[in-house]
Amino acid sequence: MKSILIGSVGSSKIILEEMIKLNFPIDMVFSLDEQYSENVSGYYPIHEIAKESKIPYRKFKKINTPEHIAIIKKINPDYIFVIGLSQLIGRDIIEAAKKGVIGFHPTPLPKFRGRAAMVWQVLLGVKATKCTLFFIDDGIDSGDIIGQEDYVIDDTDYAIDVSRKCQQAFKRLIQKVLPKLLDGSIKPVKQNEEEATYLLKRTPEDGLIDWNEPAEKIQRLIRAVSKPYPGAFSKYDGKHKVIFWKADYMDNNKYIGLPGQIAAIAEEYIDILCKEGLLRVYEYENADQVRLIVGHKFK
């Protein structure tokens, strides 16, 4: 058997390490070059692992170039693993794998196909969920399912916690699936198109806080887009950007004011009025180092 791994983030690292442990044949690792990783959340240079383990590797900027496609075709792999890559794989690469191209998605496909899957799950209040290994086809996360593994998102989880739980589930899933790929016992299952839902693209600007929302919903946004994502933010006095990294929400039986108004400032936190309740912020980033004052507003 021959295989190729293409990746750029923590999940790419996990599968490469597990493949090495299980002596799964790896003929080439394609690793996103560090110089093109600036906008990749959770980037990991998997070529370093490949180099240490004496596995052939190539760095890339765009995977669908004639040069990379020619290398892939020359290897003539049974499987190509595309794990942790935001670039779409072209038809030439899909057709180069004799048995299929395998992808990973952190949701229970066919539900929640598409973009920013872990962020959306937090925003939607999803708790019991699954991650999925599947065969990549021409659709959006629509290929046959190879396997799924459960994980749980708690109301106290921030983005980094959700990522850690998903990666742990992914590791368990890999340990089940790789041996079946080796012995040919894998039994893919077609997705039910009637159950498919789609998550649309999110941008950093979508982290802008609407103080007319309930405090609980704002806190959920903060958790969803916290590090390693760009963060939820607001403009203090309408001009100074402040990013909120950690917060809680509570009832407000004490302060009367307008949504976005600072109600109290303490050494450990600041309290901000919302349309419903108070947002208590424990960790924030004040880029302009402007002084926060009780009664002033975030807009």
Q: What is the pLDDT of residues 126-155, one digit of tens each?
A: 999 999 999 999 999 999 999 999 999 999
Q: Would 299 be classed as within a structural domain?
A: no
> Angle at which helices 159-183 and 10-21 pack, to 10 degrees?
30
State both tokens at 144: 């046959």
User: Is residue 193's pLDDT more than 90?
Assistant: yes
| Residues 84 and 220 grouped into a single domain | no
According to the model, what pLDDT value does residue 3 have? 98
CATH of the domain at 217: 3.10.25.10
Contact 92, 66 (CB under 8 A): no
Q: Would 241 be classed as within a structural domain?
A: yes
> What average pLDDT does the chain have?
96
Q: What percent of the chain has pLDDT over 90?
A: 96
Helix (H, G, I), strand (E, B) or coil at 228: coil
Helix (H, G, I), strand (E, B) or coil at 220: helix
According to the model, what pLDDT value does residue 40 have? 86
Q: Would 28 be classed as within a structural domain?
A: yes
Q: How far apart are CA 273 and CA 33, in angstroms?
A: 44
State both tokens at 170: 């992914």
Q: Which of 143, 168, 199 is the last residue of a domain?
A: 199
Q: Would 271 be classed as within a structural domain?
A: yes
| Residues 117 and 192 grouped into a single domain | yes
Compute and round to an integer the Cα radius of gyration of the chain.
22
Q: Would 88 be classed as within a structural domain?
A: yes
Q: Would 113 be classed as within a structural domain?
A: yes
| Residues 190 and 221 grouped into a single domain | no
Give the total number of structural domains in the chain: 2
Nearest to 242 by CA among 202, 274, 207, 217: 207
Which amino acid, 40? V
Q: How far apart are CA 33 and CA 48, in angstroms?
A: 11
Summarize pLDDT for 90-120 with one digit per residue, the tens.
999 999 999 999 999 999 999 999 999 999 9
* Helical spans, DSSP H, in 139-260: 159-183, 215-224
Q: How far apart are CA 274 and CA 262, in angstroms?
A: 10
Q: Would 280 be classed as within a structural domain?
A: yes
According to the model, what pLDDT value does residue 215 have? 97
> Phi then psi for 43, rounded to 5 degrees?
-55, 140
CATH of the domain at 103: 3.40.50.170
Write down the pTM of the prediction.
Answer: 0.92
41 confidence band (pLDDT: 50, 70, 90): confident
Q: Would 106 be classed as within a structural domain?
A: yes
Q: Which of 199, 215, 249 is the last residue of a domain?
A: 199
Average pLDDT over residues 280-298: 96
| Residues 29 and 119 grouped into a single domain | yes
| Residues 94 and 127 grouped into a single domain | yes
Which amino acid, 285? E
| Residues 96 and 169 grouped into a single domain | yes
| Residues 176 and 222 grouped into a single domain | no
State both tokens at 169: 């589930």
Can you state the percent helix, strand and coil of the chain, rounding each to 5?
A: 30, 30, 40
| Residues 108 and 218 grouped into a single domain | no
Domain that holds residue 226: 204-286
Q: What percent of the chain has pLDDT over 70?
A: 100
Q: Which of 199, 216, 234 is the last residue of a domain?
A: 199
| Residues 78 and 221 grouped into a single domain | no
264 confidence band (pLDDT: 50, 70, 90): very high
| Residues 195 and 59 grouped into a single domain | yes
What's the length of the chain?
299
Q: How far apart are CA 117 and CA 197, in angstroms?
A: 11
| Residues 222 and 172 grouped into a single domain | no
Nearest to 132 by CA among 161, 99, 162, 169: 169
